[in-house]
Structure 1
Amino acid sequence: MNLTLPIILGLSAAAIGTTPPGLLNMTAAKVSMRDGRNRALWFAFGASIIVFFQTLLAVLFSRFIDRRANISTVLQEIGLVIFTILTVYFLWIAKKPKTKKKKEEIKMRSKSSRFFLGMLLSSLNLFPIPYYVFVSITLGSYGYFNFDAFFIYAFSAASAIAAFLVFFGYISFFKGKEKKDSFLSRNINYVIGSITGLVALFALFKIVYQ
């Protein structure tokens, strides 16, 4: 077994899924700007722990699905529909986030409160579960994903590490750059819509040529 493969796949999948501006990224950046890097890192650590368990849950569910070929095919088709709908919504229907909400500040003061805030917001963000189900099933269909215990835990751990590194990147880059933060916040729907569009095209290619 290639011991580095699950780590590489986990890092890559998490980087693709986590890098676009979203609730956790932008909150980490805001905590950094308002309360300092150390507290923002605690927030990122808490969020990353939840990412690990979300990824693990998603992959375990994928293993169950992978053993039933008919369910796997149906879920790929459902995934195509869902990501297509999300693309249409984010690119043409969703309104741009308003930039007036500057009164909404995180007023937690201790490091532990930032840690649990990260866990809470990450728990409320359910997108990683269907995302990693889709990723693991797709990679498995090409023979790149192995559903044994080591592979699953290594992939999940690598995903959590990559998520933390992305959060760290936001924390470092947006420190004191509120204008840049506002620009990305205004255009977040277009970024997410582009990502979901690419995923939908990949799913369509997979269904047509499988």
Structure 2
Amino acid sequence: MEDLQIYIYTYLAALVGVIPPGLVNMSVAKTCLEKGRRNGVLMAFGASLVVFFQALLAVLISKYIFSNPYVKSMFLKTGIAILILMFIYFLLSANRKKTQQNIKKRTGTKSFFKGILVSGLNIFPIPYFVLIGTLLTNNFKITFTIYDDLIFALSAALGTFTTLYFYIIFIMKIDGKTELFKRYSNYFMAALMLVLIIITIARLSNM
């Protein structure tokens, strides 16, 4: 029964947590538009694999992070630095002239590893799952064993993949009506990074 609770709560938390537009889901949507559905799925799978390890790390260090303000502060500062680099990258990509009008849709492992890279740069799932793990421990009196840790991480990965797959289905259904998004997707991603930078700085100043 405890294992089922961990699975349900973590799966739903991961599923809901990826719904708002963010670095990973918008990158998956962008890949679908540029390279097709299969590449989008491969990228989503790679991103979800990283979430598995992020959630596993989060549940292992939840008590330590919340009891050590210095670690939490350094964690957020690292996140700000990564977001600034991503902001610059997308801004430069948006201003770069495309040498090819038609982008060839290729399948392969490149999108899978791109998903791993993008998800690895996105550190926000770690504090999010730290919070979920802490709530499960405190509110539901769940004692995490190594087996429970793995269930927690697997549920987080599956919940993330589910939402990303819904994004893929939605993007493919409206394909042909997304020229504006295709044209300005890098600007959108840069703006998103800027918003996340501001939010992270605000969280850091309120610590």
Same fold at TM > 0.5: yes
Q: Distance in 2 between matches of 1:49 and 1:20?
A: 12
How many pairs align? Answer: 191
* Residue 7 (1) aligns with residue 11 (2): yes
Question: Which residue of the other structure, out of 54, 64, 70, is the alignment partner of 1:58?
Answer: 54
Conserved? CA contact 2:62–2:130, under 8 Å: yes
1:182 Cα deviation after fit? 1.0
CA displacement 1:89-123 (0-9 Å, x = unmatched): 677997452252151754355xxxx2533213212
> Where does structure 2 lack aligned partners over 5 or more consecutive residues?
none
1:20 Cα deviation after fit? 6.2
In 2 relative to 1, CA 157–196 (structure 1 residues): closer, same or farther, beyond 3 Å? farther
- Identity, in percent, stands at 9
> When the two structures are superposed, what TM-score results if normalisation uses the length of structure 2?
0.72
Conserved? CA contact 2:31–2:40, under 8 Å: no
* Residue 139 (1) aligns with residue 123 (2): no
Conserved? CA contact 1:47–1:115, under 8 Å: no
**Aligned-residue CA RMSD (Å):** 3.3
Three-state SS of the structure 2 residue aligned to 1:136 is helix
Q: Distance in 2 between matches of 1:153 and 1:140?
A: 13
Conserved? CA contact 2:45–2:161, under 8 Å: yes
> Where does structure 1 lack aligned partners over 5 or more consecutive residues?
32-39
1:70 Cα deviation after fit? 7.3
* Residue 27 (1) aligns with residue 23 (2): no
- Amino acid paired to 1:156: A
Conserved? CA contact 2:55–2:126, under 8 Å: yes
Conserved? CA contact 2:43–2:111, under 8 Å: yes
Match of 1:98 in 2: 95
> When the two structures are superposed, what TM-score results if normalisation uses the length of structure 1?
0.71
CA displacement 1:151-175 (0-9 Å, x = unmatched): 3211221111112222333333343
Conserved? CA contact 1:55–1:132, under 8 Å: yes
Three-state SS of the structure 2 residue aligned to 1:107 is coil
Match of 1:121 in 2: 114
- Between stretches 90-99 and 195-204, larger displacement belongs to 90-99
Q: How does 1:181-200 map to 2 (within 5 A)?
A: 181-200=182-201
CA displacement 1:111-138 (0-9 Å, x = unmatched): xxx253321321232224x222222123
Conserved? CA contact 2:90–2:187, under 8 Å: no
1:194 Cα deviation after fit? 0.8
1:79 Cα deviation after fit? 2.7
